[in-house]
Amino acid sequence: MSKSWRIALLTYSTKPRGSVVHTLELAAALSHLGHDVCVYALDKDGAGFESPPACDYRLIPAQPAPSSIDALIEQRIQEFVTALSQSMPYDCYHAQDCISANALSVLRAHQQIPHFVRTVHHIEDYNSPYLQQCQDRSIRDPNLCLCVSSYWQIQLQKRYQIYAPRVINGVNTQRFSAEPNGLEAALKQQLGLHGKPVYLTIGGIEPRKNSIALLQAFIDLLADYPQAQLVIAGGATLFDYQDYRQQFFALANQAGVALGKTLILPGVIADAHLPVLYRLADAFVFPSVKEGWGLVVLEAIASGLPVITSNQPPFTEFLSPDRAFLVNPNASSDIAQAMRAVVTQPHLTDALIQISQSILPHYSWNTSAQQHLNHYRHLIDTI
């Protein structure tokens, strides 16, 4: 691709969830390659991005949310449509989620844009017919669907009869590393991380993160390591998962797990503090039951942590038993056993950390950007 292209990347939030991070890192890499990139993001609280993207960007004001989730999604789609109807034309429009893909579908139907791309990070199973229709439309309507793992590539073929080329995720090893930057002591004090060992997970409390099974494993572990701490960071999402969260906190209360002391819930971590937080942990525990890829796993590996994660795709596409503790996510006893092994088998833990480093060179955002450009060019040349 010899000329500089104008590329619009769309994401549903300014908060650092997986697909949002993917969007921003991809935008930075495409910009570094000389392309004119603009990120369009729904701004739900008026705070914008904590750290401005390394490219042009437009914040789309999101109005107060209706009580109905269906009405909320419908409103968010329209907010995207309104904002993009007033935007400059782009060579490529690329949605990273269901909401923005539905908006691009509307704009193409009105002949306001010629075509669009969507990356499917994972497929949800919705109870709401409206949400399911939105998801189906966001997958069937794009001129090109991409995906981030072989597992979801197979699922898209199986469920939708769509071939979606795979593009890789990356990890910014300049940002995430085991090298201290001097902020560790202050953050440790701020969060009260004085236990041993300290286990970290990122993504908040929700069903697909398997938070209750993780908590059960941690409660089991506390019998042997009463000074241990579990940090569950993050959690900005469209859904509140209130029933699931109530079950989680009821279990913690029943087991006498002290919030703020043994169980640390710092919420969304400041951009500058996230790499530091990884370095304060002894292990990264991520027994998720559904992920698009698992960007946080790569970040943890780059930060020099041993990883405990689910023995299932997509994790097993890049991890093996000599690179991580792979567990049955449906058995809290398996998770607890791996959490113990981090402490009781230091030689194994050190070997996993060392061998897992070999993964990192294969996942760069520059390579991902080059893959995207090849797919953009092929789409535009064939339409």
Kindly state the average pLDDT of the residues 232-244: 79
Q: Which CATH architecture has domain 184-362?
A: 3-Layer(aba) Sandwich (3.40)
Rounded Cα distance, 383 and 372, in Å: 17
Rounded Cα distance, 189 and 53, in Å: 29
Rounded Cα distance, 64 and 3, in Å: 41
**Strand arrangement of the beta sheet that strand 283-286 belongs to:** 263-267, 229-233, 198-202, 283-286, 307-310, 325-327
pLDDT at residue 67, as a whole number: 85
pTM of the model: 0.93
Residue 233: strand pairing partners: 202, 267
pLDDT category of residue 117 using cuts at 50, 70 and 90 = very high
pLDDT at residue 232, as a whole number: 97
Rounded Cα distance, 219 and 258, in Å: 11
**Choice among 205-219, 225-239, 240-254 with the minimum mean pLDDT:** 225-239
Contacts of 215 (CB under 8 A, 6+ apart): 230, 248, 251, 252, 257, 263
Rounded Cα distance, 182 and 79, in Å: 42
Mean pLDDT across the chain = 95
Kindly state the average pLDDT of the residues 215-243: 90
Q: Which long-range contacts (CB under 8 A, 24 or more apart) does 291-294 make?
A: 291/18, 291/122, 291/208, 291/315, 292/18, 292/19, 292/120, 292/121, 292/122, 292/147, 292/148, 292/149, 292/152, 293/18, 293/121, 293/148, 293/149, 293/169, 294/18
**Strand arrangement of the beta sheet that strand 36-43 belongs to:** 56-61, 36-43, 6-11, 92-95, 117-120, 144-147
Handedness of CA 160, 383, 168, 59 (dihedral sign): negative
* pLDDT at position 2 over 80: no
State the DSSP code for 255: T
pLDDT at residue 107, as a whole number: 97
Please answer whether residues 199 and 232 qualify as being in contact, where contact means their C-beta atoms are separated by less than 8 angstroms: no
* pLDDT at position 221 over 90: yes
pLDDT at residue 226, as a whole number: 97
SS3 percent helix, strand, coil of the chain, rounded to 5, is 45, 15, 40
Q: What would the two tokens of residue 251 be? A: 């279990």
Higher pLDDT, 48 or 2: 48
* pLDDT at position 211 over 90: yes
pLDDT at residue 1, as a whole number: 46
Please answer whether residues 335 and 285 qualify as being in contact, where contact means their C-beta atoms are separated by less than 8 angstroms: yes
pLDDT at residue 239, as a whole number: 65
* pLDDT at position 18 over 90: no
State the DSSP code for 306: -
Domains in the chain: boundaries: 6-170+364-382, 184-362
On the question of a common fold for 6-170+364-382 and 184-362, the answer reads: yes
pLDDT category of residue 236 using cuts at 50, 70 and 90 = low
pLDDT one-digit tens code per residue, 26-38: 999 999 999 999 9
pLDDT one-digit tens code per residue, 340-373: 999 999 999 999 999 999 999 999 999 999 999 9
pLDDT at residue 235, as a whole number: 76
CATH superfamily of 6-170+364-382: Glycogen Phosphorylase B; (3.40.50.2000)
pLDDT at residue 15, as a whole number: 87
pLDDT one-digit tens code per residue, 47-101: 999 888 999 999 999 988 788 999 999 999 999 999 999 888 999 999 999 999 9
pLDDT at residue 201, as a whole number: 98
